[in-house]
Amino acid sequence: MLRRIPYTPLVCLVLLVSLFFLSPSWAVGPDESLDVLLKPNNSNLATSPPLQQGRAKRSNFGLPAPWTGNPYVPTPFGISKVKAPPPLMYPAVAPMMGCFLPSPRVGQWQIGAQAIFATVRGQVQWPPNWWQWYGYGGSGYQDWTDFTGNLGLPAHQVIPEVNAKYQFRPNWAIQYSGLGTEIKGGKWIDNWFLFGFQGGGSTPQLWSPGQQIQSRYQFAYQKVGLLYDAVKNCNASLSLFGGWMHTDFRIDAGCINCGQFQSTLSKSMDTAAVGLEFQKCVVTTPNGGTFSCDAKATGMFMDDVAGVDVQVGGRYTIPVNCGRWGYMKGGYRLIDLKKGQQDYAIKTALEGGFMEMGFIF
């Protein structure tokens, strides 16, 4: 009886040996074969960082990444506070603009009130040419009657003034100013002088030592005219003034212990007035305020009158709002008037420091 050979187990054995030797995982060394089989496939993770880094470099074009964040730049771990960059400091506008002189625009007013701390001086001849009257030209008689020395009027007085200016054209304005005062005084007469007429007649009134005199002086001074800005720019102006001046004055003198007689001289002056006004900016502060110099000079003539009105000082102007300004001004002022005609002659002056406040609106 023939013995049967098991072919099926042999075929299975051959296939198993073939797979064992032909598999690629076993082509490597025995120590590496298990690592290759057990190690996961991380080929995608290994190649992604170089690609991301390459893209980040190409997106910045060689420039540093901004602090606000780049999606390709790794951020630090944890939470950190982000500080805003320091603010940029810009200088104030006023110094950049330079020196600026505020002035009224078309349709605006400039109104101010001034106080003059004045020394009042004055002399009067009434009647004039005293040596022609009844032999009164003897030695020791006064030629001019002095306001302080003879009439006893105080020499110092605070005198108020108001002024207004309206700008109706870019270079044209109308201007008005007016002041007034009343001064009362008296004294015991210590020398001889003439003032007035006895009983309103034609005989001069002679005042002698030992008499008590009571006096009063009233004075009003007004100017009005046109102002033309010949030179005007952002930091200076030169203006020409032309107009009219009117003055009223009245002097009353009475004697209490010598018959209650009184002498009164009441006259007025009307003259032409021409002048110059100059303003120059000195400095403009960061808050918009401006320091400037301010000078005015007016000459008066005609109708036997000669006079000057001069004021020199400084002004500080501050912005209020919407093109409006407030200002303060101070300095020195002199008003000197003289008039002589056939029936009387007078010389009067006010001089001293002044302060002024006003608005431009």
Residue 67: inside a domain, yes or no? no
Query: For residue 198, what are the contacts with CB-CB under 8 A and spacing of at least 6?
Result: 204, 205, 261
Residue 82: pLDDT above 60? no
Share of the chain above pLDDT 90, in %: 56
Q: Please name the residue ranges forming H helices in the chain.
A: 7-22, 30-38, 43-60, 93-97
Least confident of 75-79, 146-150, 185-189: 75-79
Please write the tens of the pLDDT for every residue from 11-23. 666 666 565 555 5
Q: Which residue has the tokens 């305020």?
A: 289
Average pLDDT on 139-143 reads 57
Least confident of 129-133, 163-167, 265-269: 129-133
Please write the tens of the pLDDT for every residue from 304-330. 999 999 999 999 999 998 889 999 999
- pTM here is 0.71
Residue 251: inside a domain, yes or no? yes
Average pLDDT on 272-288 reads 95
pLDDT at 341 (0 to 100): 87
Residue 75: inside a domain, yes or no? no
Whether a cis peptide bond, with omega within 30° of 0, leads into 286 is: no
Residue 2: inside a domain, yes or no? no
Provide the token pair at 298: 């007016």
The span from the CA of 329 to the CA of 306, in Å, is 28
Residue 49: inside a domain, yes or no? no
The better pLDDT of the pair 93, 179 is held by 179
The span from the CA of 234 to the CA of 275, in Å, is 22
The span from the CA of 107 to the CA of 105, in Å, is 6
Residue 305: inside a domain, yes or no? yes
pLDDT at 262 (0 to 100): 84
Residue 136 has what DSSP assignment?
-
Q: Which residue has the tokens 């025995």?
A: 30
Residue 48: inside a domain, yes or no? no
Residue 147: pLDDT above 70? yes
pLDDT at 96 (0 to 100): 46
Give the residue numbers spanning the domain of 289. Answer: 105-360
User: Would you say how long the chain is, in residues?
Assistant: 361
Average pLDDT of the residues of the chain: 80
Residue 5: pLDDT above 70? no
150 within 8 A of 142, measured Cβ to Cβ: yes
> How many distinct structural domains can be found in the chain?
1
- List the CATH number of the domain containing 211: 2.40.160.20
244 within 8 A of 270, measured Cβ to Cβ: yes
Residue 79: inside a domain, yes or no? no
Please write the tens of the pLDDT for every residue from 245-273. 999 999 999 987 776 678 899 999 999 99
